[in-house]
Amino acid sequence: MFGTLLRFYRERAGLSQEALGAKIGFSKSQVAMVERGERPPKGGFITGADAALGAQGALEAAGAKLRYSYLPAWTEEYTEHEAVAVALHNYENRVIPGILQTTGYAGHVFSCHCPPLDDEEIEGRVQTRLARHALLRRRPAPIVSFVLEQSVLTRPIGGEHVLKEQLHHLLDVAQLRHVDIQVMPPTRRTHAALNGPIFLLETPEHEQLAYVEGQDGGNFVSDQARRNHLFTRYSLLRAQAHTPEDSLKLIREIAEVL
C-alpha cells in the first residue's frame, strides 16, 4: 500500500522513477523496488519523497506505520499457519528445510539466489527464517516430522564447515521429543514423493492444510481429495525412509567425515 501511495504522488507530480530518484538521492531501481513493495524505504527516502512530491506529510504518516516483510509474497500465508500449527510435516529433496537451517547455511542459500540479492535483503531473509525456529520450542509443543533425501545432507552448501555445523544442529533438534527426522536412502529405486517437496500442516482447529512450492511461487491445495492424497503419500514416505534412530546415526556419520 505504501508503494501504491508513492506511485500515485509520483505520477501526480509528473515525475518518472528515475527523476524522483535523482531528486532524493536514490537510484531508479530503488524507487521501483519500493513502489513494488520489494524493499523498505530507508535512509531519508520517505522524508525526501514526501517533500519532492508535495505529499504534505501523507507519505510520512503512512511510513510511520510501515511494516516490511522479507518473505516472498507467496509464503506469507504459509508461515502464518506454520507459526500456530499443532502439527507440521515436511518432505524435502533440495535443501535443509528452512525451519531447521542455521544462520550460516541460510545465508549461503540466499546468497545463491538468482537474480542476486543485496546484503541487506539477504540479512533480512536470514533473520526472518531464523525467527521461524520458535515453533520448535513452543509450548504446547507441536508434533513435527521431516523426511529428507540423503543428498540434502551431503550437498556442501557454504562449504564443509557450514554443512557440518548444520548437521550438528539437526542432531540437536532431533533430541526434542516431539521432533522426528528421517532420511530417505538414495538406494531406493522409487518412493511416494518423487513429484517433489511436501508441506503439511494441522491448524489449532484441526484442519489439515497442504502446501506445494515451485521455482517461482507456491500455493495451498484447495481440493480435499488432493490434500488427502498428499497426507497419504507422506505416510507412505515415512514408512519407506530410514527409522528416526537409523537416520540420526547416518547424519552423525556424515558429519564425522566432514
- 156 alpha-carbon distance from chain centroid: 20
**Predicted local distance difference test score (pLDDT) of residue 256:** 97
Q: Report the share of the chain in percent with pLDDT over 70.
A: 99
**Predicted local distance difference test score (pLDDT) of residue 1:** 87
All CATH 1.10.260.40 domain ranges of the chain, comma separated, are 2-64
**Predicted local distance difference test score (pLDDT) of residue 216:** 77
Q: What is the mean pLDDT of residues 10-23?
A: 95
- Residues listed for the chain: 258
List, in order, residues 6 or more apart from 178 with CB less than 8 Å away. Answer: 141, 142, 143, 144
Query: pLDDT per residue over 141-158, tens digit each?
Result: 999 999 999 999 999 999
pLDDT at 66 over 80: no
Query: pLDDT per residue over 165-210, tens digit each?
Result: 999 999 999 999 999 999 999 999 999 999 999 999 999 999 999 9
**Predicted local distance difference test score (pLDDT) of residue 76:** 82
pLDDT tier, 230 (very low <50, low <70, confident <90, very high otherwise): very high
All CATH 3.30.870.10 domain ranges of the chain, comma separated, are 73-100+132-256
**Predicted local distance difference test score (pLDDT) of residue 175:** 97
Q: What is the mean pLDDT of residues 81-92?
A: 96
Q: What is the mean pLDDT of residues 53-67?
A: 89
- Calpha distance 168→104 (Å, rounded): 13
- 256 alpha-carbon distance from chain centroid: 28
List, in order, residues 6 or more apart from 34 with CB less than 8 Å away. Answer: 2, 3, 6, 40, 41, 45
**Predicted local distance difference test score (pLDDT) of residue 177:** 96
The answer to whether the beta carbons of residues 18 and 25 sit under 8 Å apart is no
**Is the CATH code 1.10.260.40 the one for domain 2-64?**
yes
- Which numeric CATH code is attached to 73-100+132-256? 3.30.870.10
Query: pLDDT per residue over 103-149, tens digit each?
Result: 999 999 999 988 898 898 899 999 999 999 999 999 999 999 999 99
